[in-house]
Structure 1
Amino acid sequence: MNAVVFAYHDVGVRCLKVLLARGVQVSLVVTHEDSATENIWFGSVAGVCREHGIACITPADPKSPQLLAQVQAAQPDFIFSFYYRHMLPVEVLAAAKRGAYNMHGSLLPKYRGRVPINWAVLHGETETGATLHEMTVKPDAGAIVAQTSVPILPDDTAHEVFGKVVVAAELTLWNVLPAMLSGRTPSMPNDLSKGSYYGGRKPEDGRIDWRRTAREVHNLVRAVAPPYPGAFEEIADDKITVTRTRLVPPSAHPALQRAHGMQDKFFEGGKLYARCGDGNFLQILGIQINDQDASLNNYLKYMAS
């Protein structure tokens, strides 16, 4: 079987390797140029192509006639999209004789759209996963082929969950690919009425509002912790990024309240705490000052200001 693959990021790397391990002939890979303004903390699809001698291109516009001609010339049985960042036009999808499929980082129909892992952590979900589905005109709307779930633990950051989803994507593709190659591709309903669509997030969306509940602030910190832009506040012209927090058990609240009254942030027993809008507390476990790792004791000067 012959495939054209649109891929980027770690999911792109692992799923491309699954296709090769299953004996799929990948005649063309379409990926992105790494941006000089982006923190590139993930694997390189282009690097995998160089290792395996696979033709790899990085067109700026997925709607270009040149790209369509290249895909059609490959005469693919399948088209796969693994964390490629653009929607593919219908004309490109139609070039696949046996279907075009995308790997999405959620349990569809939940969290359609952009950065689904970050949104799932932000909303306090306890599980997410990876879903392989048919590509259609609407994003993440085609029939579900297969999916694999992973847990989201209470203190997991989005980066930690992303690592799990990469494995879930690899397992999903590995397990279903033999059926797809033999002409028995599963098709399950993707009921959009039971899910939701979310857009992209900007760095400014990470600004902390300490008036929110402790759980909401904790989920924000987890959802955007490095290598993502981070949850932050600005004090005395400095950017303070909170990189890791933990919810304080209710049993500890009375003692903290007696010792520190209505203070917003304070040290107790060598630990840094913050009081949130619901009166509950977070322990602050890590900070950066102006994007540089810093000691929690460095927070003292801001607390005194």
Structure 2
Amino acid sequence: MAAAGTPASLLITLPHTLAANHSDFVDLAPTAAAAGTPCLRAADVNADDIIAEVAGIAPDIIFVVGWSRLVKAPLQALARTGVIGYHPTLLPLMRGRAALAWTILLDVSTTGGTLFWIDDGVDSGDIAAQREFALSGREYLGDLMTMQMDALRSMLEELVPRLAEGERPARAQHHELATYLAHRRPEDGLILWDQPAETIWRQVRAVSRPYPGAFTRVDDGVMKIWRARVADHPEWHAQTGQIFMTVDDCPVVRCGDGRDLVIEELEMVRAKKPIGQKRLGRP
């Protein structure tokens, strides 16, 4: 917004005490300070004191980006023109939670970001702007985040001047085409080695840094897998979930479809790096 010549009047972000609960948290306070925008830290944007603070600046538009909690009606009502949210998919497709992870898990080839006018539904408001971009099918979560931020920046640079001129671009969503995403939790990163290698590889990429990571059990501990690739070693007969060889010091694990996952970066948690032909996924 600052790059578009219209810096925000106020930034509301999480207090540091709660930031650790969000693996993708980025502290925007220094960026806001550089743009001359005051920063207010709040655990609940719907609290009375926050509403009073926002009312004092009489906003034309409120932007909700990267905020996982609902912005309720009293706060929405303070924005003269409306409230714009950001969703990292091409709405009406993939409404709901954990959209970045689901984009990789579902092997989506074309995605994008959407700025939309928040209404009473779930990501269902009229579209103010939308950007589409292609995926290679090899992106890790961090790569997708960067692509989404590039799309958001591009949209804001075009949209903010139009809003400043009094325009209110709005295109209704085709609700009959809507699809929805279920909530995901850190424990969903548990690898099931009887799945195909490509499925496991997508799982690794979908919850890689800054998310908690895909993991498998090793003895009484855990191995987190941050980077991997799919390979084929048909000359080897191995059990599902078994490390049966190493390539350049990278463990190779047999998956459920007979293909293999080469673990390029791992982290051991309460466990030693397995040696020999260890079978993973068992306590």
> What TM bracket, shorter-length normalisation?
0.7 to 0.9
Offset at residue 131 of structure 1 (A): 0.7
Instruction: Identify the match of residue 290 of structure 1 among 252, 269, 272.
Output: 269
Which of 257, 265, 275 in structure 1 is aligned with 2:254? 275
* Paired position in structure 2 for 1:108: 91
| Separation (CA, whole Å) in 1 of partners of 2:55 and 2:47 | 13
- The Cα of 1:284 is off from its aligned counterpart by 2.2
CA distance in 1, matches of 2:186, 2:27: 24
User: In structure 2, do the counterparts of structure 1 residues 227 and 29 end up closer, same or farther at CA, with 3 Å as the change threshold?
Assistant: closer
Provide the aligned length of Structure 1 versus Structure 2: 277
Tell me the CA shift for residue 67 of structure 1: 2.0
Q: Deviations over 1:246-273 (max 9, x none)?
A: 222xxxx4xx233335463222654532
Take 1:304 and 1:100, find their aligned partners in 2: how far apart are those partners? 52
Q: Deviations over 1:206-247 (max 9, x none)?
A: 000001111211111110112211111111112111211222
Q: Which residue of 2 aligns with 1:30?
A: 12
The answer as to 2:169 corresponding to 1:190 is no
- Among 243, 264, 280, the residue aligned to 1:265: 243
Q: Which amino acid aligns with 1:285?
A: E
Residue in structure 1 matching 2:45, options 54, 59, 62: 62
Q: Which residue of 2 aligns with 1:12?
A: none
How far residue 25 of structure 1 moved from its aligned partner, in angstroms, is 5.1
| Higher share of residues assigned helix | 1
Q: What is the CA–CA distance in structure 2 between the aligned matches of 1:105 and 1:291, rounded to whole Å? A: 35
How far apart, CA to CA, are the structure 2 residues paired with 1:21 and 1:36?
26
Instruction: Report the TM-score when normalising by structure 2.
Output: 0.87
- Distance in 2, Cα, partners of 1:101 & 1:233: 40
Distance 1:174 1:167 in 2: 11
Distance 1:178 1:215, change over 3 A: same
Contact 2:230 2:260 in 1 (8 A): yes
Equivalent residue, structure 2, for 1:127:
110
Q: Return the alpha-carbon distance in structure 2 between the equivalents of residues 44 and 236 of structure 1.
A: 37
1:289 counterpart SS class: strand
Equivalent positions of 1:149-164 (< 5 A) are 149-164=132-147
Q: Is the 8 A contact 2:9 2:57 kept in 1?
A: yes
**3-state secondary structure, aligned to 1:26:** coil
* Deviation for aligned residue 1:277: 1.4
**Letter in structure 1 aligned against 2:260:** F
CA 1:162/1:36 → structure 2, altered by over 3 Å: closer, same or farther?
closer
> Normalization by structure 1: what TM-score?
0.82
Q: Residue type of the partner of 2:166?
A: G
What is the percentage of aligned positions where both structures have the same residue?
Answer: 27
* Secondary structure of 1:20's aligned partner: coil
Q: Which has the larger displacement, 63-72 or 153-162?
A: 63-72
SS at match of 2:244: strand
Structure 2 alignment gaps of length 5 or more: none
Confirm or deny that 1:300 pairs with 2:275.
yes
CA-atom RMSD, angstroms? 2.5
CA contact (8 A) 1:89 1:137 kept: no
Secondary structure, counterpart of 1:225 in structure 2: coil
Residues 155 and 246 of structure 1 are in contact (CA less than 8 Å); yes or no, is this contact kept in structure 2? no
Residue 225 of structure 1 is aligned with which of 203, 208, 213?
208
CA 1:39–1:184 in 2, change beyond 3 Å: closer, same or farther? Answer: closer
User: What is the identity, as a one-letter code, of the residue corresponding to 2:11?
Assistant: V
Secondary structure, aligned partner of 2:225: strand
**Matches of 2:85 and 2:205, distance apart in 1:** 27
